[in-house]
Amino acid sequence: MTFPRCDQTVAWQALKGHFEAHGRGLDLRDLFAQDPQRASRFGFEAAGVFVDASRAHWDVATTRHLLDLARECGIEARRDALLAGEPINQTEGREVLHTALRAPRGQAPHSDLVHETLDQMLAYVEGIRATAGGPAGGDIHDVVNIGIGGSDLGPQMVVPALDPFVHPGLNFHFVSNVDGHDLAAVLRRVRPEHTLFIIASKTFTTQETMANAQAARQWFLEQGGQDIARHFVATTTNVEGAAAFGVTTTFGFWDWVGGRFSMWSSIGLPIALALGRDHFKALLAGAHAMDLHFAQAPLESNLPVWLGLLDVWYRNFKGYTSHGIAPYHHGLRRLPAYLQQLLMESNGKSVDQDGEPLPYATSDVVWGEPGTNGQHAFFQMLHQGSDVIPLEFILVRQATHRDESQWSPALQALMAQQHQVLLSNGLAQAQALMWGKTQQEAVQETVPTAASSGLAVDVLARHRTFAGNRPSLTLVLDQLTPESLGALVALYEHRTFVSGALWGINSFDQWGVELGKALSKDLLPRLATGDVSGLDAATAALIGRLR
């Protein structure tokens, strides 16, 4: 199956012509004035996720050219190959089937294998949850997930996001950093007889994870812990390695599950422990609903396709080098970190599938913080800085609080009002980014205070002028539930695939993380011995200082 790279198509040349003629100078305020239906024209919805793309820097002509590009690059056939389990991860010779992990039985490749493991894991989960938080000495109160990268970021994002659905008798802790301060802070808060440790490593050899696991086991034994086999469980394919460690309960997954796409597999064990069988299945069902939309919707209404096309337009034509994620929901505070790995580890590549250097940029930089916290940190730059940086707002229409039924009517009213304040802030920031404030408007605002500042009115007004025409997307969920969160994450997964496919890269390997790991193994003994032979001068000098 061979398709042209985006820059080798007729549509790409047409898109370049469009950009030079019209796309370079698009102004959102003019676009809304020219098209009263723009808000509805650029509103897309799928699997309970609504996206307002009307404040994006594109117009109808842009989208027509982008759709032509998608078709000429064979995006539908590439998508079908992904979902059918063809080995599209060519550098590793693997299928890419995270979608199979959330498909109903019989509706995806490897279905029997997936559901056999899922059923085993969920049976174990229900056994732990049945007595969790109880008074008996052996009951589990705390779950400590030890992993890194994809074995950490997904569970660490989902569990707090779905706090209202979490078992009230369980506390969840996530340890990823090889820095012992990470683990030590958790161990201070738990007791061995009430703690379950999950060691999440496909190979059971990941350096950071195994260092933390060894330290956790030592602490467990020194604190009088009994029965490692009961208090340690592993999500791994290395059953022999886990057994040598003392772990007898393991849940596996497969080579066709990439780390950053693995929260739907047994790597999601802490999520399942938190949510229980039904809610974990609802998380899978939400993702599957987005999978079906991606698989079946025509390109003109296919939400992941639209967002992937926008990423290509922004990166390669508008020249935007980063975009921010601003979730206006405290539960989604770890979503930006999760998306950093998903988007940048997948598409941070500089050669195509054939190993040829690319003449254009690929992944931008992804960053962000929750809602109003970000407003008091980096929004100054977004509004008045010299760079134009697209922002993605994520709003949740209705709040869900775990303990709301126990609150007084007065407290319920106050918390409801807080949520309205949160939403109004999100709406206002998107509005302000687009509309800005002219110098004339700033002058009228500044006159009353100019005298006290000691500055002339026009000088002070320039400080209060906002350029506007800053692009954004607004994603809206009705509620943050297992279903809606599953759909949201799957949307970002498929969006990543679409942009990577157009760029002609392999979005499913990550060789860039391997070099540093290999060098670290060489440097570790040198820190102990002081041997700096064969090293560059800078590294040698730093080893001397660190010793």
Given 72, 95, 193, 345, the catalytic residue: 345
Cα→Cα distances 255→249, 258, 261, 419, 472, Å: 20, 7, 12, 43, 37
Given 300, 356, 514, 517, the catalytic residue: 517
**Euclidean distance between CA atoms 427 and 474, whole angstroms:** 9
- With vertex at residue 462, the alpha carbon angle to CA 456 and CA 467, rounded to the nearest 5 degrees, is 165
Handedness of CA 503, 504, 510, 514 (dihedral sign): negative
Q: Which of 342, 307, 332 is nearest to 394 (CA)?
A: 332
| Under 8 Å between Cβ of 335 and 157 | yes
The token pair at 85 is 């389990």
Q: What letter represents residue 206's amino acid?
A: T
Cα→Cα distances 403→278, 330, 399, 406, 422, Å: 20, 16, 12, 6, 19
Annotated catalytic residue 517? yes
The token pair at 23 is 């796309």
**Euclidean distance between CA atoms 525 and 528, whole angstroms:** 5
Given 181, 222, 376, 521, the catalytic residue: 376
**Euclidean distance between CA atoms 120 and 546, whole angstroms:** 47
Secondary structure element (H or E) that encloses residue 44, with its range: strand 43-46
Task: Give the catalytic positions in this structure.
Answer: 345, 376, 517
